[in-house]
Structure 1
Amino acid sequence: MTEKKGLARGAANYGDKEFALYLRRSFAKSMGYSQAALDRPVVGIADTGSDLNNCHRTAPELIEAVKRGVLMAGGLPLAFPTISLCEPFLQPCSMHYRNLMALDTEAMIAAQPMDSVVLVGGCDKTVPAQLMAAASAGVPAVQLVVGPMSANRYMGERLAACTDCRRYWGRYRAGDVSEERIAEVEGNLATTAGTCGVMGTASTMACLAATLGFMPLMAASIPATHADRLRAAEEAGAQAVRLIQNPVRPETLITEKSVENALRVLMALGGSTNALVHLSAIAGRVGVKVDYDRLNELSDTTPVLVDLKPTGEGYMEDFHAAGGLVALLHEIRDLLHLDCVDLDGSTLTERIGDGPAFVDRTYIKPRAEPVSPVGGLVALRGSLAPDGAILKRSAATESLFEHEAECHVFDGLEDLAARIDDDALPVTAETVMILKGAGPLSPAGMPEAGYLPIPRKLGRAGVKDMVRMSDCRMSGTAFGTVVLHIAPEALAGGPLGLVETGDRIRLSVKERRLDLLVDEAVLAERRARWVAPPAPKRGWDALVRREVTQAPEGADLRFLLPEG
């Protein structure tokens, strides 16, 4: 039996399927569509525009360009809204709602009549949520991102969110920047539409989505305000129509090989630690596991070649003008699985070609002169993190890579906020600061709080970095010697939950170790006293507490995995 297309797909069943289609067509005609339009195949467009998402304020014009591309190619474009996530506008944090957005998007793709879909995302949790949804819904999908903001000129320097936000805020906390100056900077950090202008999570995820094959390679980095961004949107619409003619299901692009390619690119970009959690979740939707031991092998054999903030000096607009993802992939092509294909069936070899005609080596380094000879991320294991933890070594201080010291523990975000700037806080530059109780199971929802602020008294003394550890995340725009995603988290009963102020902690990047140097007998006594905090009683929070996995599995919900 031939699969039905367009508005004939998946009609409701009232006991009379022909009546259901008759009713659907009747209601569609109330919107002014002609019969000729309704006879066309349907391309859905997931609209994440929102007045509470500044990154996505260009979504309306992008959607108009997508519609143009769909109509020119012979399809009928129909946009529909989904949840939209923007980090600064959500509490407790946007990560807490990534899986809710994925569930919403999957349900709307599967429940509504569309032959393919264009996913309009950008702000960092939206793209992983959309790709997770696409992998589970099984409808051919094209990813379109809003693109990065452009850097602003301010008093002789360039600024863009959010690495520069953190740099100036750190200076303000240390007393190096006045109230008047920080207020001026606030109005000059983000002056255009688009996602953060550095190699943060949004741009990292755009590059990984393109590497996986869900959009053209150069479309990952086109600035939000550039005319090429609209042309990319038009092409996304045309691509979606081609997918109706030659269907490629999303799960066929997400393979062990393509995920390994994405990990290589993550390393070469010096990309966000968050991308590892998101890629694990995307891959997990089709049963592919990201292995931390393999991650370290890839990291040790993949150089960092992109010199952008937060680890370098450039911005995403510089990366794009320098040759973008095509230039980077051409530089590491011998490390990639070149037979992986995109939505058109083109291999990575064909997509890379001979590389761009021009490469600006200021921002995309040659293999012989890397930013770093090894990748940006490493996985750690040990008695403090039996299931793993992550360190972004490309954003860390090398002199702290081998470090043993007493720790000071903050038991949750409220404790951190209450005490971090107390001049009586018993910490020195050598102290390991630990935040626990902020992982996926926590009411905080695994926020970007792992970048613990330098205590004000140490900031005033000139301290720029300290070893900090937690079971939560940090922004992809952040920097510092920060150990993240410690698993099992404290609320899951992991060793992190047993740590007390004064315990000695040992970090060894060389040995990939993270250890709690406390006798097992002492830990057993603490474990016997440990009691899990009460779970939320209702709503999304209760569902998350019951179903969320740990960071190495992507912090997805168990019932959304292939095995349920």
Structure 2
Amino acid sequence: MKNDDKNKSKLRSAQWFGTADKNGFMYRSWMKNQGIPDHHFQNKPVIGICNTWSELTPCNAHFREIADRVKNGIREAGGIPVEFPVFSNGESNLRPTAMLTRNLASMDTEEAIRGNPIDGVVLLVGCDKTTPALLMGAASCDLPTLVVSGGPMLNGKHHGKDVGSGTMVWKMHEEYKAGNITLQEFMDAEASMSRSAGTCNTMGTASTMACMAESLGVSLPGNAAIPAVDSRRYVFAHMSGMRIVDMVHEELNLSKVLTRNAFLNAIKTNAAIGGSTNAVIHLKAIAGRIGVNLELDDWLVGKEVPTIVNLQPSGQYLMEEFYYSGGLPVVLRRLGEQGLLDKDALTVNGKPIWDNVADATCHNDDVIRTFDNPLLAHGGICVLRGNLAPRGAVLKPSAASPHLMQHRGRAVVFENFDDYKARIADPELDVDENSVMVLKNCGPKGYPGMAEVGNMGLPPKVLKKGVKDMVRISDARMSGTAFGTVVLHVAPEAMELGPLAAVEEGDYIQLDADAGVLQLEVSDDVLEARLNKLKATQVIAKSGGYMEIYRERVLQADEGCDFDFLVGCRGADVPPHSH
């Protein structure tokens, strides 16, 4: 058998295109209606380009051109590109939250990869949930897989200053509620924030997940920070297209890259960049699909890692400066120099991660700080436990106020988000800066999809005193662009009758972030009695459709909010279709 025949027998796509029979005839014939010549079905890897382009997902609106550049690279390397769409769950427009459809998009991705004649796949990702969704779906199939992110938008510009997408909205809206700016001044800033295609230019969830992909090793070096409209983003896409063809020949499947040590590298990277709390949920879900055991307590490996990336919302700069300063390779190098990186973790270019970053050069030590001059000495995600969160909760120290990291205060309770909206601006609301704002029923099932409402805006009566932050606790998530001393992902959630459901107005709550404690100052007996009373009266309305599936099968935050029936790697084998 010739070498070409050996390669052909290895290719998964040969099960469709490589047989001299009726089925092979029909598969090839149908594909030829697109003008594909006969020799393209002989010994050439078929590479799927999984595209989340959509005009309703502004972050990914430039992905048609990105896909074309990937195709050029695939063709140059001797592969056959086939582009296919999957559900594009953009955070900016999709209601009630894109997190509701993350699992749906992952199912779309998984079945599209498994059911089609694909030897390897390039995932085009950008807006927040598209990165974890596509990685989850691909992980369940375990083919050679490579991530290409769309990149961040250009810096926002407002009144001569750089402003960050998302973060600008939260800050200016608080200024408006405090009476410091007019409604017109707030609205005038609208056109200043988003000046180009691309994802949020802060270290929000999109940028965080692009960094997670690079630190996991599932993208080529430099993926995370190249601006969306920079010509180097298109060069990167081309080179990624070339590389995926080699990955197929090398049989470099996703499971060889997504190892437990790769996930631990990503956790430490998240601490160093001041990354989004959403990464906690997404990394758990991806790990669950590929078969890696990753628990909430594994985030403790990042607890002592300093935050060295000086980006909004934790710091000063934006993603453009991060790229110009050297990007994520510099961060990874500095982690490695401190013994905080598994240097042998394999990446998609076939090299250990340290080989990719050992020579990375920093061009601005104020944007990417050194370890002896960090933005925050201990930047890792805080994992909190106690009788209020027996299965855990999280807090992002780099976005919090140091003086509130140890705090005891009286609970001001909102039963759901509608209750919060109805009462927060009431001048008679019994709240002050020492209170603890508690929001219930906004977890995975309570507000299906676990919306980003955990960073509750402060009451106007408090803002007018000049107060900028208060302790807030919920079973919700918050945007990676947001800030504040916000406790999130309380598990079990209130809808599941976790202890959060039993918090009452006037209860005292103790937060000790350093010690990892979140405690409701109510006895076990009282807590149990309250929960029993709630259980006896709880009514959960049926919604029908996808939302009902979601509520019935979604796991809790500490488990990654995946569907219980999707956890695990099912592989790429598929029964043959006999025509």
Name the counterpart of 1:35: 38
Deviation at 1:538, TM superposition (A): 2.6
Q: Does 2:133 correspond to 1:129?
A: yes
Name the counterpart of 2:3: none
Structure 1-normalised TM-score?
Answer: 0.96
Q: Does 2:342 correspond to 1:337?
A: yes
Q: SS in structure 1 opposite 2:481? A: coil
- Report the AA paired with residue 14 of structure 2: A
RMSD between aligned alpha carbons? 1.8
Name the counterpart of 1:536: 542
Name the counterpart of 1:178: 182
Name the counterpart of 1:557: 563
Distance 1:327 1:436 in 2: 40
Distance 1:497 1:177 in 2: 37
Deviation at 1:511, TM superposition (A): 1.6
Distance 2:378 2:363 in 1: 21
Name the counterpart of 1:112: 116
Distance 2:51 2:296 in 1: 35
- After TM superposition, the structure 1 = structure 2 runs for residues 400-439 of structure 1, keeping only pairs within 5 Å, are 400-439=404-443
Distance 1:38 1:11 in 2: 6
- Given candidates 540, 551, 569, the residue that maps to 1:545 is 551
Distance 1:293 1:117 in 2: 32
Deviation at 1:452, TM superposition (A): 0.4
Identical aligned pairs, as a percentage? 39
Deviation at 1:254, TM superposition (A): 1.5
Q: Measured at CA, do residues 170 and 133 of structure 1 come closer, stay the same or move farther in structure 2, by a change above 3 Å?
A: same
- Given candidates 320, 327, 331, the residue that maps to 1:317 is 320
Q: Does 2:350 correspond to 1:350?
A: no
- Residues 7-60 of structure 1 show CA distances to partners (whole Å, capped at 9, x for unaligned) of 533589xxx993222112111111111112333321110111111010011101
Distance 1:37 1:157 in 2: 53
Distance 1:210 1:377 in 2: 19
Q: SS in structure 1 opposite 2:489? A: strand
Deviation at 1:214, TM superposition (A): 1.0
Q: Is the 8 A contact 1:53 1:86 kept in 2?
A: yes
- Given candidates 453, 471, 475, the residue that maps to 2:475 is 471
- Given candidates 518, 523, 530, the residue that maps to 1:514 is 518
- Report the AA paired with residue 461 of structure 2: K
Name the counterpart of 2:576: none
Q: Does 2:22 correspond to 1:19?
A: yes
Structure 2-normalised TM-score?
Answer: 0.94
- Residues 471-520 of structure 1 show CA distances to partners (whole Å, capped at 9, x for unaligned) of 01000010000000001111112101111111111101122100111122
- After TM superposition, the structure 1 = structure 2 runs for residues 243-254 of structure 1, keeping only pairs within 5 Å, are 243-254=247-258
- After TM superposition, the structure 1 = structure 2 runs for residues 319-398 of structure 1, keeping only pairs within 5 Å, are 319-333=322-336, 334-356=339-361, 358-398=362-402
What stretches of structure 2 of length at least 5 have no aligned partner?
1-5, 571-579
Q: SS in structure 2 opposite 1:133? A: helix
Name the counterpart of 2:307: 304
- Report the AA paired with residue 275 of structure 2: G
Name the counterpart of 2:225: 221
Q: Is the 8 A contact 1:207 1:217 kept in 2?
A: no
- After TM superposition, the structure 1 = structure 2 runs for residues 33-182 of structure 1, keeping only pairs within 5 Å, are 33-39=36-42, 40-182=44-186
Distance 2:322 2:569 in 1: 40
Deviation at 1:3, TM superposition (A): 4.4
Name the counterpart of 1:5: 11
Deviation at 1:344, TM superposition (A): 2.8
Q: SS in structure 2 opposite 1:558? A: coil
- Given candidates 273, 276, 285, the residue that maps to 1:272 is 276
Distance 1:11 1:539 in 2: 37
Q: SS in structure 2 opposite 1:103? A: helix
**Greater shift after overlay, 554-563 or 387-396?**
554-563
Distance 1:232 1:297 in 2: 32
Q: SS in structure 2 opposite 1:340? A: coil
Distance 1:395 1:343 in 2: 32
Q: Is the 8 A contact 1:150 1:160 kept in 2?
A: no
Q: Is the 8 A contact 1:289 1:553 kept in 2?
A: no
Q: SS in structure 2 opposite 1:89? A: coil
Q: Is the 8 A contact 1:47 1:82 kept in 2?
A: yes
- Given candidates 290, 297, 303, the residue that maps to 1:286 is 290
Distance 1:23 1:473 in 2: 49
Q: Does 2:215 correspond to 1:196?
A: no
